[in-house]
Amino acid sequence: MQKRLIWTVLFAGIFSIAMAGIKIPAFSLQDINNKTRHYKDIKGEKLTIIDFWATWCKPCVRAIPKLSEIYHAYKQKGVSVLGISVDSPRNAAKIKPFVKIHRMDYPVLKDPQGEISTRLNVTVYPTLFIVNSANQIVYTHYGFRSGDEKILIKEIEGLLGNAHE
Amino acid sequence: MNRGTIFLLALVMAQPLFAQLSGSNQAIYQLGNQPDRLPANRTNLYDQLNLFYGSGDITLGLRAEIYNTDSRYEYNRISQKYIAYNLGNLQLRLGNFYEILGRGLLLRSYELPGVVYEDTGTQQRYGFYKDVEGLSLRYENEFIRAKALAGRPLDFSRPPIQGRSQRRRFFVQGGEVDFLLHDNFNPGVLYLRSDSDGRVKEYNGLNFDGYWGDIQYYAEYIQDGSNRDGTFQLGQNGAHAFYASFNVVYKRASLSFEYKDYNNFTLVFNDPPPLVREHTYTLLNRSTHSIEPNNESGYQLEVLLDIGGDNSVTVNHSRAVNHLGNQRYTFFEYYADVNYYLDPDIITKVFADYSQDELVSQKNRYTAGASAEWGFGKDWQFISEIQWQHFQRDFIFNPAQNHSAENRYVNVSLNKGPIYSAGIILEYSNDPVETNQLVTSGTLKFRSWPAFLATYQYDQQNVFNLFVGKRRGGNACTGGICYRVLDFEGVELSLTTRF
């Protein structure tokens, strides 16, 4: 028991030296009208903010208006926002009304089987990834509290600054 | 240490050599037990490692799970492995996979990432996933969208100790073809054959979906075709499942309506939509209605209103009727909430709920609550939440034991940006089921569950979570899936890593 415990802790320890730059796999999902969309066709020229959200998630509702503001403010600078709903079939009928009422005017895709969220080990909602043009995750943000949009904007500005250099 | 562990360790240590190797790890250590089980200082450690390797159009995936405890129920195994090949319009996956046919009336395999299930009897802890082991194919072009699969679905209700022969005793083959004719109308056909110990069942069905601007619909009908008479069995005694939904958005209001009719349709590998609102409020989440696909019909109606300034109102009503034996059981729920910004830095939410669920003998169930989030300073947030519930429990066969009970919930937490979070949860109940008064006539008048929770995001890859105190068991619903959570008293520390 003790030996196995040591190995397990060692496992976790090895991962704590984990490398940055996890890559987003090439993927396609259906949008709110059930049309298949490919990530490569939606992503931003320089950066893409991917928001994993659900209709039942309270903090997700807080994040959406701020993400819309970011989308409009940075669209011309090569930054896009992509919402990925992780709602199961239980809430499938509510996704389109939710998107419209909460004015999510950026692309929204559905991941009811968790194909992408599982692949990226998304366990907290919302989870926000900022992804660069090489499809690498360069920033991860768990949850959303009032004021978190300032942190996101600071990261975007920093990353755009690096991209310009 | 077995060969699988050595292989995994070698793979991980060689990680820098592989630019396209990624993955995640979740390690959860517990010191404690259920309040009524010994030893009280029981320890266990659950670890789940997921590795992905991608090269061109090929992806390899592997999952290892380790459960260490001082009992015969510990294990150390590779629980998933697959190879996936993406060839333009065709996707092929061999090994463990997730698939859904239609809306899941016939087949739905899924995973709840980060959720660890604990078996009631053995207390074995294992990852919450219902996958299929076999072969899956997907093909799509502008006219057609097709899925085909053959494999053994996992019976998640059976813990790992029961072995593969029991956990994967079904073999299923089937698929779905959707014809992409027009935005307004896309018909599809579904078929599945299941075989368990020579007992063969065949299911077939149809579905339709489409939209006109902001109006959208979906309908699906599946029946057990094993009787081969080919007749539709809607509303009759034959095994069938029917689901339909409709939603519309008009200016600043939206409406969604769903209808269900399930009969003799409890399959190991399906997950029909329950048509009950998915709540995140703890007391409502715990007292949700669990569907009974052996016989259940009903509907759900939800209205969502944009009241300006990022504020919204949700109104929901759902109703279900079960005929089990000679008894008729009715569930209904009326729910409303308001999400309102008092100020850009102060967000409030208020809800009220009235429901009845005769399947669990609860009537006149009133629940209400409020939450507020206040942002202050540079990046500080204070969150508070209060919930209250009162209900009546009536026993059909023993009215002398009828009673009413109350549940209360309070949560306060303080966060500094996304890095630090600390909070306290206090739950209270005088429910005789919780205090064991129904079976032992004990003197305990109420029970309480105080707990302390903290989260620390060490860096972009590593997040620590700490729980100290008592966790109330009962129903829990995550991502649309409801399951049983056991009581826990002790300390739990988890580390989630993404790399």
Give the model confidence (pLDDT) of B443-461 as tens digits. Answer: 778 999 999 999 999 988 8
CB < 8 Å from A in window 94-123 of B: 98-100, 103-104, 108-115
Amino acid identity at A142: Y
Q: Which of A151, A23, A124, A29 is nearest to B115 (CA)?
A: A124
CA distance B252 to chain A (A): 6
**Locate tokens 């368990």: which residue?**
B196
Lowest mean pLDDT among A132-136, B394-398, B435-439: B435-439
Most confident of A112-116, B355-359, B417-421: B355-359
Which pLDDT value is given to residue A16?
A: 46
Which residues of chain B have a CB within 8 Å of the CB of A142?
418, 457, 463
Which pLDDT value is given to residue B9?
A: 53
pLDDT band at B401 (very low <50, low <70, confident <90, very high): confident
CA distance B116 to chain A (A): 11
Which pLDDT value is given to residue B440?
A: 60
Partner A contacted by B405 (CB < 8 A)? no
pLDDT higher at B40 or B71:
B40
Which pLDDT value is given to residue A19?
A: 45
Distance between alpha carbon B213 and the CA centroid of its chain, in Å?
Answer: 31
pLDDT band at B418 (very low <50, low <70, confident <90, very high): confident
pLDDT band at B24 (very low <50, low <70, confident <90, very high): very high
Between helix A148-164 and helix A58-74 the angle, nearest 10°, is: 30
CB < 8 Å from A in window 152-191 of B: 183, 186
Is A97 in contact with B256 (CB distance < 8 Å)?
Answer: yes
CA distance A98 to chain B (A): 8
B467-472 average pLDDT score: 96
Nearest to B499 among A5, A18, A97 (CB): A18
Is B43 in contact with B30 (CB distance < 8 Å)?
Answer: yes
- Provide the phi-psi class of B51: left if phi over 0, else alpha when psi is between -120 and 50, else beta: beta
- pLDDT, tens digit, for every residue of B226-271? 765 555 555 557 899 999 999 999 999 999 999 999 999 999 899 9
B177-187 average pLDDT score: 96
Partner B contacted by A136 (CB < 8 A)? no
B160-183 average pLDDT score: 95
pLDDT band at A20 (very low <50, low <70, confident <90, very high): very low
Which pLDDT value is given to residue B2?
A: 55
Instruction: Determine the number of helices (DSSP H) and then strands (DSSP E) in chain B.
Output: 5, 30
| pLDDT above 70 as % of chain B | 93
- pLDDT, tens digit, for every residue of A70-96? 999 999 999 999 999 999 999 999 999
How far from each other are the two terminal CA atoms of chain B, in whole angstroms? 24
Measured between CA atoms, the residue of chain B closest to residue A10 is: B9
* Strand (E) or helix (H) holding B44: strand B43-55
Measured between CA atoms, the residue of chain B closest to residue A117 is: B113
In whole angstroms, give the CA distance from residue B480 to residue B318. Answer: 15
Measured between CA atoms, the residue of chain B closest to residue A85 is: B479
- Peptide bond preceding B274: is omega within 30 degrees of 0, i.e. cis? no
Measured between CA atoms, the residue of chain B closest to residue A122 is: B113
- The beta-strand segments (E) located in A9-151 are 28-31, 36-38, 47-53, 79-85, 108-110, 127-132, 137-142
Q: Give the up-direction half-sphere exposure of residue B491: CA atoms within 13 A in the CB hemisphere.
A: 5
Residue B287 backbone phi and psi in degrees, to 5 = -100, 25
Burial A51-70 (b: 16+ CB within 10 A, else e): bbbbbbbbbbbbbbbbbbeb
Enter the tokens of residue B490.
């002790």
Nearest to B497 among A16, A112, A148 (CB): A16
Query: Do residue A34 and residue B481 have CB atoms under 8 angstroms apart?
Result: no
Q: Structural domain boundaries of chain B?
A: 274-499
Tell me the domains of chain A and their CATH numbers: 20-164 (3.40.30.10)
Predicted confidence (pLDDT) at residue B101 exceeds the cutoff of 80: yes
Which pLDDT value is given to residue A8?
A: 54
Which residues of chain A have a CB within 8 Å of the CB of B248?
97
pLDDT higher at A121 or B153:
B153
Residue B178 backbone phi and psi in degrees, to 5 = -110, 130
- pLDDT, tens digit, for every residue of B270-284? 999 999 999 989 999
Look at strands B75-87 and B144-153 and give their pairing. unpaired
pLDDT higher at B1 or B225:
B225
Lowest mean pLDDT among A10-14, B26-30, B348-352: A10-14
A58-76 average pLDDT score: 93
In whole angstroms, give the CA distance from residue B434 to residue B395. Answer: 16
In whole angstroms, give the CA distance from residue A144 to residue A127. Answer: 8
Query: Do residue A97 and residue B249 have CB atoms under 8 angstroms apart?
Result: yes
Amino acid identity at A162: N
Q: Residue B13 in 3-state DSSP?
A: helix
pLDDT band at A18 (very low <50, low <70, confident <90, very high): very low
pLDDT band at A34 (very low <50, low <70, confident <90, very high): very high
Query: Do residue A89 and residue B279 have CB atoms under 8 angstroms apart?
Result: no
Which pLDDT value is given to residue B185?
A: 95
Q: What angle do CA B10, B12, B13 make, to 5 degrees?
A: 65
Which pLDDT value is given to residue B397?
A: 75
Query: Do residue A145 and residue B373 have CB atoms under 8 angstroms apart?
Result: yes
Is B314 in contact with B303 (CB distance < 8 Å)?
Answer: yes
Partner B contacted by A26 (CB < 8 A)? yes
Which residues of chain B have a CB within 8 Å of the CB of A88?
104, 110, 271, 479-481
B51-73 average pLDDT score: 91
Is B257 in contact with B245 (CB distance < 8 Å)?
Answer: yes
Query: Do residue B27 and residue A12 have CB atoms under 8 angstroms apart?
Result: yes
In whole angstroms, give the CA distance from residue A129 to residue B348. Answer: 27
Measured between CA atoms, the residue of chain B closest to residue A139 is: B460
Which pLDDT value is given to residue B46?
A: 97
- The set of residues, in sequence order, having a beta carbon less than 8 Å from that of A48 and lying 6+ positions away, is A42, A79, A80, A81, A82, A130, A131
In whole angstroms, give the CA distance from residue A119 to residue B211. Answer: 31
Q: Residue B57 in 3-state DSSP?
A: coil
**Locate tokens 């969309």: which residue?**
A37
- Peptide bond preceding B39: is omega within 30 degrees of 0, i.e. cis? yes
Residue B189 pairs in a beta bridge with B177, B206
Burial class (CB in 10 A: 0-12, 13-18, 19+), B213: exposed
A7-20 average pLDDT score: 49
pLDDT band at B325 (very low <50, low <70, confident <90, very high): confident
Q: Which of B357, B356, B390, B384 is nearest to B370 (CA)?
A: B384
Predicted confidence (pLDDT) at residue A109 exceeds the cutoff of 80: yes
B353-365 average pLDDT score: 95
Is B432 in contact with B438 (CB distance < 8 Å)?
Answer: yes
Nearest to A4 among B54, B76, B245 (CB): B76
Counting one residue from A and one from B, how many pairs have CB atoms under 8 Å apart?
A: 225
Which pLDDT value is given to residue A120?
A: 87
Partner A contacted by B314 (CB < 8 A)? no
Lowest mean pLDDT among B113-122, B184-193, B384-393: B113-122
B105-133 average pLDDT score: 93
Is B465 in contact with B458 (CB distance < 8 Å)?
Answer: no
Which pLDDT value is given to residue B447?
A: 92
Which pLDDT value is given to residue B439?
A: 60
CB < 8 Å from A in window 7-36 of B: 8-9, 12-13, 15-16, 20, 22-27
pLDDT higher at B399 or B11:
B399
pLDDT band at B11 (very low <50, low <70, confident <90, very high): low
Q: What is the CATH number of domain B274-499?
A: 2.40.160
- Peptide bond preceding A59: is omega within 30 degrees of 0, i.e. cis? no
Please give the C-alpha separations between residue B96 and each of B64, B150, B180, in angstroms, as whole numbers: 13, 11, 28
Query: Do residue B461 and residue A18 have CB atoms under 8 angstroms apart?
Result: yes
Partner B contacted by A62 (CB < 8 A)? yes
What average pLDDT does chain B have? 90
- The set of residues, in sequence order, having a beta carbon less than 8 Å from that of B66 and lying 6+ positions away, is A4, A8, B5, B45, B46, B47, B48, B75, B76, B77
In whole angstroms, give the CA distance from residue B360 to residue B349. Answer: 28
Amino acid identity at B482: C
Query: Do residue B457 and residue A142 have CB atoms under 8 angstroms apart?
Result: yes
Predicted confidence (pLDDT) at residue B210 exceeds the cutoff of 50: yes
CA distance B229 to chain A (A): 30
Q: For chain B, what's the residue count?
A: 499
Look at strands A47-53 and A79-85 and give their pairing. parallel
Interface test with B, best of A2, A124, A145 (most B CBs within 10 A): A145
Which residues of chain A have a CB within 8 Å of the CB of B69?
1
Predicted confidence (pLDDT) at residue B482 exceeds the cutoff of 90: no
- pLDDT, tens digit, for every residue of A124-152? 899 999 999 999 999 999 988 878 898 99
Q: Residue A27 in 3-state DSSP?
A: coil
Q: Give the up-direction half-sphere exposure of residue B437: CA atoms within 13 A in the CB hemisphere.
A: 16
CA distance B188 to chain A (A): 13
Look at strands A108-110 and A28-31 and give their pairing. antiparallel
Predicted confidence (pLDDT) at residue B424 exceeds the cutoff of 60: yes
Which pLDDT value is given to residue B300?
A: 97
B353-372 average pLDDT score: 95
pLDDT higher at B7 or A102:
A102
